[in-house]
Structure 1
């Protein structure tokens, strides 16, 4: 079993919202547990900043912060290359809508739990240092109440997060 750190860039979107993608940060720890010759399970605990930005107004941002717990099932396709897939459990830390100079708290209108499925790949340049890319598709509607942004929204709002980052194994 190996332990490690990982950190990188989130590019996140929200379905059924008339908003653009937003950049954010993720970082945390992982444990890589071999279960067979080319298979391992990698649970992680990550801080993840997601959300979206207004299309016409870059000063409007929906900022969501989660404690994310992905459990990735990894297959070593080549000696240094792996592919992965698995569930991700997100626990809401904070939700805020920022418009120009004002910020409003949206935590009461946002679900405290979000479930998603992740799919990704990674490559280790050395025994300890590697890169990872992953896309996590949210399967839960994150809106608890039907609040309005000046128009009617139909359908559920789900997170979609693309990640690229660095891994370090101890």
Structure 2
């Protein structure tokens, strides 16, 4: 127990003695998203947002983020049963827009290479779904980045939702009597490629 207390004290003292800095910044890029357990293609769209870079040590930075992101999936396969018994497969493009609040942990190593990990809480703003299962998504982000001496950073992230966002059991149109060809558990899956830049010296 004493050893743990000593380790915690040393870490706390090192953070307090370090020169803690804060820099606001902007980030933007392209997103490639889909839903798990669906027969679909990745949807290409974008994300844009702001962040606050709280540098606590030489290596570790805590970065809260607020991001608007467009997600969904293209060509989601739809199984259609007509009254005459003829079955066909159609496809539709699904869209969900989120406002994401993330808490990213950044670890910067010599040469400017970074590892970025953290949770994000996404709030649904709008969509073109017939039915949805949740207005909120809890996701986990992990990625790699490269930071130039100027501060400009190139980022590649993988974002995986944990919440079932589509009500696949009742996802039907009363007009056409069609159901999306979905499994029961459909989560957001997204890859992001973009840049970020913090302001200030």
TM over 0.5: yes
Separation in 2, partners of 1:164, 1:151: 29
C-alpha distance in structure 2 between counterparts of 1:155 and 1:145, whole Å: 6
| Two-structure CA RMSD over aligned residues (Å) | 2.2
> Is 2:125 the partner of 1:93?
yes
Distance 1:83 1:152 in 2: 37
Residue 128 of structure 2: SS of its match in structure 1? Answer: strand
1:18: Cα distance to partner?
1.4
- 1:133 matched to 2:123? The reply is no
Per the alignment, residue 192 of structure 2 pairs with 163
Q: Which residue of 2 aligns with 1:121?
A: 144
Of the candidates 18, 38, 63, which is equivalent to residue 39 of structure 2?
18
Deviates more, 1:158-167 or 1:146-155: 146-155
Give the length in aligned residue pairs. 161
Matched position secondary structure for 1:20: coil
Bigger mean CA deviation after superposition, 150-159 or 59-68: 150-159
Shift of 1:112: 0.7
Partner of 1:73: 105
Q: Report the Cα distance in structure 2 between the residues aligned to 1:55 and 1:90, rounded to whole angstroms.
A: 22
- Judged with a 3 Å threshold, the aligned counterparts in structure 2 of structure 1 residues 41 and 152 are, in CA distance, closer, same or farther, namely same
| Aligned match for 1:49, one of 64, 70, 95 | 70
Listed as ranges, the gaps of 5+ residues in structure 2 are 1-21, 78-88, 173-177
| Residue of 119, 127, 142 corresponding to 2:165 | 142
Q: Secondary structure at the match of 1:126?
A: coil
Q: Which has the larger radius of gyration?
A: 2
Q: Which structure shows the higher strand fraction? A: 1
Q: Kindly indicate whether the alpha-carbon contact (under 8 Å) linking 2:47 and 2:68 is maintained by their aligned counterparts in 1.
A: yes
Q: Is the 8 A contact 2:113 2:146 kept in 1?
A: yes
Q: CA deviation at 1:80?
A: 1.5
Is there any run of 5+ residues in structure 1 with no aligned partner, and where?
A: 98-105
Q: Does the 8 Å contact 2:117/2:142 carry over to 1?
A: yes
Of 6-15 and 116-125, more deviation after overlay is shown by: 116-125
Q: Deviations over 1:134-169 (max 9, x none)?
A: 001111111246314535533310001100001111
TM-score (norm 1): 0.86
